Amino acid sequence: MRVKYKINGIVQGVGFRPTVYKIAKKLNLKGYVLNSSDGVIIEIEGENKDKFLDELKKNLPPLARIDSIESEILDFVGFKDFVIKESQNTQKTTSISPDIAVCDDCLKEMYDKNDRRYLYPFINCTNCGPRYTIIENIPYDRKNTSMKKFKMCKFCEIEYNDPLNRRYHAQPISCYDCGPKLDVKRKNDSGKWKSLNFDDEINKIKYIAKKIKEGKIVAIKGLGGFHLVCDATNEGAVGNLRERKRRPSKPFAMMFKDLDMIKDYCDITDKDVALITSKEKPIVLVKKKKDLKGIADKIDRYGVFLPYTPLHYLLFDFLDFPIVATSANISDEPIIRDSDELIEKLSNVIDYILDNDRDIVNACDDSVVQAVGDEYITMRCARGYAPLMENGKGTVENGQWKMDNGKWSNDDGQWKMDNGQCMVDNGEWKVDNDKSKGEKSYGKLNILAVGANQKNTISLAFKDKFILSPHIGDLGTLGSIEYFQRTIETFRKLYEFEEDVIICDKHPYYESTKWALSQDKKIFQIQHHYAHALATMFEHNLKGEYLCFIFDGTGYGDDGTIWGGEVFIANRHDYKRIHHIKPFKLIGGEKAVKNPANMAVALIDDELAKNYPNYKIAKALNNASFPLTSSMGRMFDMVAFLSGIIEKNEWEGISGLLIEKYYNPEINEKIELKIEKDIDFRPVLNFAAANRGEFERVSSVFINTLVDMIEKIAKIYDLPVIVGGGVFQNKTLLELVNKRLNPYFNKKIPINDGGVSVGQAAWGIWNL
């Protein structure tokens, strides 16, 4: 008897086949393993074949993830040995692994003077290094990556072809003799950029470190694009970067040599440490301890991360201070991935370039996450996490359906699906209506969801696969719109995907919506805040009705006004708007986002409004025609302005971060809002104006009032609660609500507009 397995998940380019090979040899099994574009195929014969799956699950490679295992019993053929076969091409549905930080084994070798890759800045193995950023097509073989131009030397080739070697089929494998090279560029007196000559690679890094110490601004090529780098402790260098980049106050992220250095500058929790040191190495928002001028002025948070490439580690061998490491781009445009574009767009910003000749095929920014108690939220899903793939398949063991670290079951042992029923019978998985065995399909149609206008992502759903793209960004420039379209083409190519339907937002002026409506496809438009709720339902596989609090800055409402402070009763198929902030005029239109002064003063009582210099103009403008909004994001802005915390919004999100900074848990005061369909927040605004200058009291009362309002509404409806939208990036607000109501909220899917495409696709999966 022979057993054939088809295994899907993150199983290519992560050392999966060598692991299978080692286990098969250990158990004296015969057969083969191969990569196909539809997963990993394994056939085995031998007395110990029943032990194979248990051994595989116990010994998975660090980056591997099994989402589905399909098995089939076949006739005995008499294999003579166990071998790894060449990859096969079928329909492309295999997951692409995100780029992963350099592993400890590679770092150990890199600092071993006897190793042939001693101090090699591109060291990697099957367990680490670039993946998505170098892939041109799948299956993930070297010929389908940007590494194909580097011919392996005989020593790398031996490692590459040895199933027992850690670098077996590690596609970016290379060394000093056959791999990419660093290139230092400097602008000469005539304004042209020229490469500088050095004896070896480490002297190039040492030279760049010296320039950083001197206060210069350097562009360094990483995994998914260039960083702009300078000494974070040098106020003059940071100021120069801000002036040249025309970024007057928005915080910069900082890279630190190690965890101890982070602890010198930040107060971090155990959860912060777990996120900072994870294999993904994201940017993590943490509490300040020591202030560095110009990095994140006014707020009490830093965005910190650790080195994640060999080059970063080597750079810090010559630096003993944190560095600014911010995305190299023009404001609101995607991260730059090649030096020609860098020189074209940022030549006047940078003094030196540390480039290399390993091409970045797919740009990918750094991920941003934040601890929320013992949980976390994702604010930007990119390097290390994305492409984020969910698989609708699983395995049946002992009569239970298992998938993604959870169990799916319901009454009477039946698994119910939208289009039929599946049931477990004597340990076998049976599906009515000729559905595929053991499969939870993501619908009959190929779905492309194109997300929102800010923090844009796209999502694909087809067969049993769901894929969230890395962060694309705000679609406010030609460059970002081009990147949005390029990302769609990339995923179409990688998965040989052609959408049957496109799902987009209802906002007529969103660039993603305009693009969708220009395509010759069936289009569905989903309300923005409902998409937030659906994204949470999708991540947690929620069925039934939920009370959904969706608070953000803006979203096109069904009545043509701008929503943003919404309470829904919603399920997978429909929603009802039951409460919302009483609409107010967005005086100044889009300009009110940056300057909330007139909007705020127009809403408060006259005797309070007279204390503000813009009183007369605000009251006059309130009689003019402006869009109506129920935005909670604007409510934060107005409270911050009226209390004197801000004069204007210097960058997105500052009002929320400052209110959070001034929140005092010892202040229990709150305002009792009347819970009606239209919830009037003017008492909160009047309080902020009446207590102008009392930052702690106003901030604390405002947050307490929000939490109290949410709790009171939750008691009325007695339904499980969902919270979502960009306002819930406010750590204090989310932690307080979480303690009282234990709501569902997005964690690995962005809680902000980066998750909108997920909700759109989820609606398509459940309704089309």
Distance between CA 393 and CA 379 in Å, rounded?
A: 28
Distance between CA 79 and CA 83 in Å, rounded?
A: 10
Cα angle 542, 276, 104; round to 5: 115
| Residue in 17, 131, 383, 577 annotated catalytic | 17
Residue with tokens 């329909």: 91
- Beta-carbon contacts of 303 under 8 Å, excluding residues fewer than 6 positions away, are 251, 252, 253, 254, 283, 284, 285, 296, 368
- The number of angstroms, rounded, from the C-alpha of 747 to the middle of its chain's C-alpha atoms is 10
Strand-pairing partners, residue 721, are 547
Under a CB-based contact definition with an 8 Å cutoff, are residues 451 and 441 in contact? no
Q: Collapsing DSSP states into helix, strand and coil, what is residue 302? A: strand
- Beta-carbon contacts of 664 under 8 Å, excluding residues fewer than 6 positions away, are 696, 697, 699, 700
Distance between CA 366 and CA 471 in Å, rounded?
A: 9
Distance between CA 546 and CA 544 in Å, rounded?
A: 7
Nearest to 532 by CA among 518, 551, 517: 551
| Cα dihedral 371, 105, 201, 261 sign | positive
Bridge-based pairing state of the strands 721-724 and 546-556: parallel
Phi and psi based region of residue 339 (left: phi greater than 0; alpha: psi -120 to 50; beta: remaining): alpha
Q: Is 634 a catalytic residue?
A: no
404: its two tokens: 């993604």
Q: How long is the chain?
A: 768
* Torsion, CA 733, CA 752, CA 64, CA 78, rounded to 10: 130
CA neighbours within 13 Å on the CB side: how many for 225? 23
Under a CB-based contact definition with an 8 Å cutoff, are residues 597 and 588 in contact? no
Under a CB-based contact definition with an 8 Å cutoff, are residues 424 and 399 in contact? yes
Which element (helix H / strand E) includes 71? Answer: strand 65-74
| Cα dihedral 720, 726, 728, 731 sign | positive
Question: What is the three-state SS of 36-69?
Answer: ECCEEEEEEECCCHHHHHHHHHHCCCCCCEEEEE
User: From edge to edge, which strands make up the β-sheet containing 428-431?
Assistant: 414-417, 420-425, 428-431
Under a CB-based contact definition with an 8 Å cutoff, are residues 121 and 184 in contact? no
Distance between CA 536 and CA 189 in Å, rounded?
A: 55
Distance between CA 168 and CA 157 in Å, rounded?
A: 9
Nearest to 365 by CA among 391, 335, 343, 386: 335
Q: Is 142 a catalytic residue?
A: no
Distance between CA 140 and CA 380 in Å, rounded?
A: 25
Which element (helix H / strand E) includes 765? Answer: helix 756-767
| Residue in 2, 8, 35, 65 annotated catalytic | 35
357: its two tokens: 């000749």
Nearest to 745 by CA among 546, 486, 464, 510: 546
Residue with tokens 């940007």: 146
Residue with tokens 């400097």: 186
For 120, which DSSP code?
-
Burial class (CB in 10 A: 0-12, 13-18, 19+), 61: middle
Q: Which amino acid is at 417?
A: M
123: its two tokens: 């060291």
Which element (helix H / strand E) includes 491? Answer: helix 478-494
Task: Name the residues annotated as catalytic.
Answer: 17, 35
